[in-house]
Structures are given as C-alpha cells and as structure tokens.
C-alpha cells in the first residue's frame, strides 16, 4: 500500500516490556506480538489507514445527532418525559450533584468528542482520550435504565439512542485502523 | 517460556535506547529532557514517578471505595414512598425484578471489577516493590485485563445520570443522585488513573530481565 510498509527488519522496542526485537515489517495483515510478553506490537487493522477519515467523519455526524435528540422517552399515565445526554448532565447539575455531572460530562461527552477531534486532526498520541472515552459504557447504562423503568412506564428509544450506537461502532472502527507508525512514516514522506 | 529463555532478550534501555511512547520510533537515550526525533513527543525512559503516583491514586480509590458502597447512589420518591439504593441494592432490585442477566452484568461491572482492580493494582505494585520475578507473563496479562475492563465500571453512574434526568414526573415520581454516586465515580476514575500511571515495563525491569542479556 505504501513504501514505508516495505521496510524490512525493523528494530522495535515492545511498549510493555521493553524487549528489543526485529520484525519483518510493521505492515502485514498478520498480528505482530512481542516475543517475550505477548503484547501487540502494532495496530492490528493498521493496513486500512485510508478508511480512518471517512469513518471519523461519519462518527462525528452520529455524535452530533446523538447529542441533539432524546435517547429515550418514557410515558407514565399519559405523562411524557424525555432526556438527551446533555439534558441528563444539566439535570444532575441542577439537582445538586455537580460532581457526578462533571464526571459524566468528561467521560460521556468531552472525551468521545476529543477522541473524534484528535482522530480527525491525527496529530497526537491517542492513548489518553481513548481510554476515558466511554460512549459504549453510556449506551449500556441507557439500556440498563430502560429495563429498570420497563415495569412502571412505557419506554420509547429515541433517535439519540440509534445515533449513539453509530458513534460507538464507527469510532471503534476508525480507531482500530489508525496506525501510528504508518502515520509518521507518511508524515516524513518515506 | 522459562525464566532462562526470557533472559535472552535485550531491552532497549539496556542499549541506551528509548522507544517513543507516541510513535514507537527508537531514540538514543540522553540524560537530558529531550524529544523524539520523529514526532517531537517528550521522551521518557520510564513513566515519571510511576510507582508513587500509582500508589497515591490507588490509595485514594481505596478510601473512596468505602463511601461508594455504603451510601445510596440513587434515591427515588414515588407515590408509593421513598427508597434509597446502594450499588449492591440496585443489583438485588434488578435480580428480584426478574432481569437476572442484567443483574449479573451490573454485578460484574459495579462490584467485581472495582474490587478486582483495587486488589490487582495492589498486587502489581507490591510485586514491583519486592522486585519479584514471580509469574511475569501472568502479571503482564493481568495488567492488560485491568486496562480493558476498567472503564466498564462507569456503567452505574450513567444509569443514575439517565434515570435522574428521565424520571421527572412531578407528582408521580422523581429520582435523585445519592452521595454514593460521586464516591463511586471517583473510585472508577482514580483506579483508571492508577493503572495509567503504572509503567508495565517495571515488572520486567525489577525482575532483572531488562538490564542483563
């Protein structure tokens, strides 16, 4: 796919145990694992780097939708109540739980946004925002809440829920195909 | 792999090299603060003050673990009366309500995983302190598992966030976040920070597998 990938006999240090080893190349569809500790030496789907940008853009569209539409609506005896993710954060804050509101804001909203933003710019190490970005955990939380309420209310999943699902799948795909050594090889132009 | 076989490896730091944590390129290690020749990220042979920082986060997480489990995370007011749920109480309520697969899921995410994280981090940190070479591969795998499952403990906090915002039917029912919710969220974030501060390579360093060939 690119010239950089044809480099042979590259020397790499395992990020997890520091063992030096030669690898034939960091491209390859096969999974490269450290000879000593078994850690992954490269991004498993790195050969699909050209798909990162379209996936990231699609995920961003879903992210905007997921945050502007209600995730669920409930109905009890003719009364409707709906919430979106920003709505949930605001409500927590209003009801005197600003600490919890802040943590949900950071992990459910800001970290996924930063992760998408950085993928789009592809400039920095992606390890930190990725770990604290919990869109899929939030999704599961929404499902658990639905089951909790299913006994007392009629529950209607909203557009926000489906869009959130899109954010999760597309971000995961984009992140899986982002290959850092390949990125730098391209940036250096070799 | 036996211990003797593992010793055949040469670490990058034994040769005076540093792998960049951002782009993976090898650099010559200098005594000064310097940056990667390829991407410009600051170079560190090992994470800065890894052990002290990891211990500090772990200790804070352990302290928060007590109020997180004793105080209610969710308080509901319905026509039937007031109810408070702790983390464990929420699992019991799900179980009694008949959705036992979900009860099991929440039990794992909220009870098993946080406890496992606190115990496993303690084990890893102590083993590095006593310079243990006991079960190197299993410990490396334990750390990988820890990083993978850590974030899923946040589940209960998101459940609280959604319920609190959704159940706002003035006369019929309201729900509020309890004091346990903040403590529990703190446990999750602090133990993730503890794992992030910990440099796994120290496991191999202190076992003497990285300086000698």
Q: A145 or B191: whose pLDDT is higher?
A: B191
Range name among B14-23, B42-51, B91-100 with the lowest pLDDT average: B14-23
Torsion of CA A102, A107, A108, A111, to 10 degrees: 120
Option in B12, B22, B185 nearest A18 (CB): B12
Q: A52 or B193: whose pLDDT is higher?
A: B193
In the prediction, which pLDDT does B67 show? 96
Mean pLDDT across B53-75 = 95
- Report the alpha-carbon distance of residue B97 to residue A112 in Å, rounded: 33
Whether the per-residue pLDDT at B7 is higher than 70: the answer is no
- Report the alpha-carbon distance of residue B45 to residue B49 in Å, rounded: 11
Whether the per-residue pLDDT at B212 is higher than 80: the answer is no
Q: What percent of chain A has pLDDT over 90?
A: 8
pLDDT in tens, A80-120: 888 888 989 998 898 888 989 999 999 999 999 988 888 77
Range name among A186-190, B45-49, B144-148 with the lowest pLDDT average: A186-190
Rounded to a whole number of angstroms, the distance between the first and last alpha carbons of chain B is 16
Long-range contacts (CB closer than 8 Å, 24 or more residues apart) made by A35-38: A35/B9, A36/B1, A36/B6, A36/B9, A36/B204, A36/B209, A37/B136, A37/B137, A37/B140, A37/B204, A38/B137, A38/B140, A38/B141
Whether the per-residue pLDDT at A77 is higher than 70: the answer is yes
| Block residue for tokens 């798909």 | A51
Contact A17 B204 (CB under 8 A): yes
Helix (H, G, I), strand (E, B) or coil at B88: helix
- The nearest CA of chain B is from the CA of A49 a distance in Å of 15
φ, ψ at A171 (rounded to 5°): -65, -40
Asked if A178 and A119 touch (Cβ cutoff 8 Å), the reply is yes
Whether the per-residue pLDDT at A129 is higher than 80: the answer is no
- The nearest CA of chain A is from the CA of B67 a distance in Å of 15
Which domains does chain B show, CATH number per domain?
Answer: 1-45 (no CATH), 49-206 (1.20.140)
pLDDT in tens, B102-150: 899 899 999 999 999 999 999 999 999 999 888 889 999 999 999 888 8
Residue of A nearest to B152 (CA): A137
Q: A27 or A170: whose pLDDT is higher?
A: A170
Contact B38 A188 (CB under 8 A): yes
């Amino acid at each position: 796919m690119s010239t950089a990938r044809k480099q042979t006999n590259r020397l790499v240090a395992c990020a997890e145990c520091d063992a030096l080893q030669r690898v034939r190349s960091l491209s390859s569809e096969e999974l490269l694992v450290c000879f000593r500790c078994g850690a992954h030496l490269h991004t498993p789907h790195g050969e699909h780097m050209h798909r990162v940008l379209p996936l990231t853009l699609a995920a961003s569209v879903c992210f905007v939708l997921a945050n502007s539409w209600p995730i669920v609506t409930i109905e009890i005896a003719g009364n409707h109540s709906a919430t979106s993710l920003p709505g949930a954060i605001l409500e927590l804050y209003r009801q005197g739980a600003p600490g919890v509101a802040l943590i949900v804001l950071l992990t459910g909203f800001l970290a996924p946004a930063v992760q998408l933003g950085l993928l789009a710019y592809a400039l920095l190490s992606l390890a930190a925002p990725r770990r604290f970005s919990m869109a899929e955990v939030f999704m599961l939380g929404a499902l658990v809440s639905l089951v909790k309420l299913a006994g007392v209310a009629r529950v209607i999943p909203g557009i926000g829920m489906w869009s959130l699902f899109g954010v999760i799948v597309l971000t995961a795909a984009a992140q899986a195909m982002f290959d850092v050594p390949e990125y730098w090889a391209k940036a250096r132009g070799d | 792999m036996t211990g003797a076989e593992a010793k055949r490896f040469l670490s990058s730091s034994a040769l005076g090299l540093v792998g960049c944590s951002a782009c993976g390129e090898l650099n010559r290690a200098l005594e000064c603060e310097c940056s990667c020749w390829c991407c410009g990220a600051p170079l560190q042979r090992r994470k800065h003050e890894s052990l002290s920082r990891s211990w500090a986060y772990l200790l804070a997480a352990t302290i928060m673990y007590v109020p997180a489990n004793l105080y209610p995370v969710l308080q509901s007011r319905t026509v039937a009366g007031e109810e408070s749920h702790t983390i464990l109480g929420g699992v019991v309520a799900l179980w009694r309500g008949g959705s036992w697969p979900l009860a099991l899921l929440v039990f794992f995410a909220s009870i098993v995983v946080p406890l496992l994280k606190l115990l496993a981090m303690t084990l890893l940190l102590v083993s590095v302190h006593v310079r243990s070479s006991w079960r190197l591969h299993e410990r490396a795998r334990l750390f990988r598992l820890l990083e993978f499952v850590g974030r899923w403990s946040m589940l209960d906090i998101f459940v609280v966030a959604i319920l609190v915002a959704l159940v706002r039917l003035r006369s019929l029912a309201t729900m509020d976040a309890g004091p346990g919710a903040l403590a529990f969220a703190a446990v999750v974030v602090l133990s993730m920070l503890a794992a992030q501060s910990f440099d796994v390579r120290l496991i191999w360093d202190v076992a003497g597998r990285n300086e000698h060939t």
